[in-house]
Structure 1
């Protein structure tokens, strides 16, 4: 579990940072990576001070954790389930941090950095912590029987829907729909994607909190779903666009990983293959049809991959779950228990509403105290230079703003 915890942090930085950083223009590489890196710093501190306690402290009316672990009070070397309490707490903190970082993909290149820091603090406190408690900390969804092995609702639906909400509230980039966003470095993107895939074994299998047969099942399901998702996307893209792409194949693999996350410990390997395979078309549809239809600017498709595949994965858990592989879980619809599907739909609906309403309120409150997005000039110059004065590449020169201004 020490190794799994370290690997989950590694998938955050450099994994997600490289994945997102490779997709943006060369003007916003540093700022995009900063979102991932700084969220790890900020959320870790919030987690120690109050986030962990609100998530996993003693249950209060099924709604929130108590203050038992405030400031890591009462967290020590003693066993917490199957592992030392310190390890469990930091492992869960790594989950919280990467969930916040995923949201940055929806608003890359335009959110003001001070607003991002405030958002990270407020979002993990008022959105992530309650949902984590409801599902994993003994809250009302846990008592209801909703299944989420490693974060379909808590991590991916929350982050994906929050990214979409933030993208709409903050507004599109000035160049959105006028200039196609082309990844500036596919090599960095692939290294990031491969790091995420590698880290997902710790993310999912580590959630078993032990080394046993269940852990091996989760490990196998994670690999199979990722491969099925990547292959599924490749076939779709090749059929529709007549060109298979590396970005597409890697994106499909990530979609497959998202889809299997909530189901990883509750389904068979063949079911994992189906879940991963279907994750590809649902995410592809979200990115290439829903996004174009409604013209929202989810910069790096955080909603299309994490939100939509997360919703599918949570629902699929209610379809494919079987006690034959995990006696602690419930059977799903395909194994004679329709009620489990209802519980999963309630979990999905709850995550969507909490993420939408909560993110909207948090951003509006932040907007009362500081600007949410950068100015037009700063955005067109790129945040690496305009805010951080730290270009990713020495070849990136200062940009003549006048030549890039777009008429109002």
Structure 2
């Protein structure tokens, strides 16, 4: 019996450059990152908000994931990882044709040269097809947009969000991705961002905070009380986010190698350390542990380790976890309450603190703690190492300059995009819709429970009610055999 073409050792099904282990791991890592968004953040957002915003919040994540994929393959991938157009931007183009997607993956702007022009580090060419790289990098772009959405939940117009997603992807995200990963000026200068502390987390935190400023605040009642509608589901989403981070940082080397293993271990060690640190601070200052606080501590640990996950030793990952639990906790619980700007800008899920602050912290700590041997295994610019290993102050300067570029670009680009959108459609829902929530925005509600402030309508019941049953339903408090109970109409 003939061997099927897909399993033959010769071309075209299995070219000589294809490493099946790397390809399998990269596709698995991409799927893990995708699961962080779908369903991870969809579930997390839908449960961490008030009941009246559950559907809208989940849908914003769902829409961003879908729209980002389409615009990524149409234009975005090659703007972020294609040929150089500007020092911070690649040439736009589609990633749709068979001839492009089945050839060996390559990032044409990544060859690094000595000052005299001779080649020092060759072009990044992973051992799998371009299609694998396109999908893997898409999952990073999508989750950045979904994280950004956390700043504007509970009031941004869905029409404005639908326009914002593709524009921000193309004119903001691709700039950071090319500059730091795709062969841009920060990549060749030696700024370290292992897996997105700057490209994803610092950018989503700054852009989210900027968007929250321009969109405007939630209703006063929502700002004062915005408790989760389902903490157990919130933990489910958080768990998917945490475990999915294995693909997030484990896939960054573009291969199933030693760096991947170190990165995965460091990721979970830092996240656990940060969660415990945050929880201890909650107990010390507020006398009880907060479940939401634990999730925030988990998040800041994951974010903080991301810029250096495969480049620091595991003891250093624990140090980063301790600081990731302390610094964002302090900025959120202390500075936020004392700052007029933080009080004015309504950042719904505190994305600025959990992502911008933690991402910047991680980038600077990487400049201190990046271990030379681990850097040599991964980084395109030879000789890079943290200041604690003899790298000197210059690596910290590079990390700071890289962060400032990401902050400035996201602030300006996000502002320009939202001001342009506001000329065609309001950025914020009208107050009458904000009072109602999901039913006004989508005509749908998360839970089919009657009694949450709405008028009872017997005609909306699925089962047929007799006149007597309907009359009884109108009076939920009944004495039955001497006992008083509540009748809930489902």
Q: TM-score, normalised on structure 1?
A: 0.95
Q: 1:73 to 1:364 in 2, by over 3 A?
A: farther
Partner of 2:56: 31
Contact 2:76 2:93 in 1 (8 A): no
Q: 1:352 aligns with which of 378, 382, 407?
A: 407
Structure with bigger gyration radius: 2
- Give the alignment of 1:102-121 within 5 angstroms: 102-121=147-166
CA distance in 2, matches of 1:72, 1:52: 13
**Are residues 1:136 and 2:181 paired?**
yes
Aligned partner (choices 362, 383, 390) of residue 444 of structure 2:
390
Q: Matches of 2:454 and 2:419 in 1, distance apart?
A: 33
CA 1:177/1:70 → structure 2, altered by over 3 Å: closer, same or farther?
closer
CA–CA distance in structure 1, aligned partners of residues 328 and 150 of structure 2: 15
Q: Which runs of 5+ in 1 are unaligned?
A: 402-408
Mean alpha-carbon deviation: is it higher for 286-295 or for 123-132? 286-295
Match of 1:302 in 2: 351
Closer, same or farther: CA 22–68 of 1 in aligned 2, 3 Å? closer
- Quote the residue 1:406 is aligned against: none
Counterparts of 1:353 and 1:271, CA distance in 2 = 29
Dislocated runs of 4+, deviation >2 Å = 67-75, 176-180, 289-294, 396-401
* Among 149, 153, 157, the residue aligned to 2:202: 157
The offset of 1:249, in angstroms, is 1.4
Match for residue 326 of structure 1 among 357, 375, 378:
375
Residue 313 of structure 1 pairs with residue 362 of structure 2: yes
Instruction: Quote the offset at 1:59 in angstroms.
Output: 1.2
Q: Is the 8 A contact 2:74 2:93 kept in 1?
A: no
Number of residue-to-residue matches in the alignment? 400
Partner secondary structure for residue 220 of structure 2: coil
Task: Give the Cα separation in 2 of the matches to 1:283 and 1:10.
Answer: 26
Name the SS of the counterpart of 2:52 in structure 1.
coil
Equivalent position of 2:295 in the other structure: 250
1:20 is paired with a residue whose SS is helix
Contact 1:55-1:130 within 8 A present in 2 as well: yes
What is the correspondence of 1:222-261 to structure 2 with a 5 Å cutoff? 222-261=267-306
CA contact (8 A) 2:80 2:177 kept: yes
- What does the per-residue CA deviation read over 1:297-340, in whole Å, with 9 as the maximum and x for residues that have no partner? 11111111011101101111111111122314421111111211
Within 2, Cα distance between the matches of 1:322 and 1:78?
34
Shift of 1:78: 2.1
Matches within 5 A, 1:1-400: 1-67=26-92, 69=94, 71=96, 75-80=100-105, 81-82=125-126, 83-175=128-220, 179-292=224-337, 293-294=339-340, 295=343, 296-327=345-376, 328-329=378-379, 330-337=384-391, 338-382=393-437, 384-395=438-449
Partner SS for 2:445: coil
User: What do the CA deviations read for 1:75-125 (whole angstroms, capped 9, x no partner)?
Assistant: 322222222210011100110011001111101010000100110011001
Q: Which moved more, 1:129-138 or 1:334-343?
A: 334-343
Deviation at 1:248?
A: 1.2
- Residues 368-394 of structure 1, C-alpha deviations (whole Å, 9 max, x = no match): 011111010101111x10011110000
Cα distance, 1:71 vs. partner? Answer: 4.4
Change (3 A) 1:400 1:361: farther
Q: CA–CA distance in 2 between the matches of 1:113 and 1:233? A: 34
Distance in 2, Cα, partners of 1:58 & 1:73: 19
RMSD: 1.6
Q: 1:62 to 1:288 in 2, by over 3 A?
A: same
239-248 vs 291-300, which deviates more? 291-300
The Cα shift of 1:290 comes to: 3.1
Consecutive unaligned residues of structure 2, counting only runs of 5 or more, are 1-25, 106-124, 456-490
**Please, which moves more after superposition, 82-91 or 282-291?**
282-291
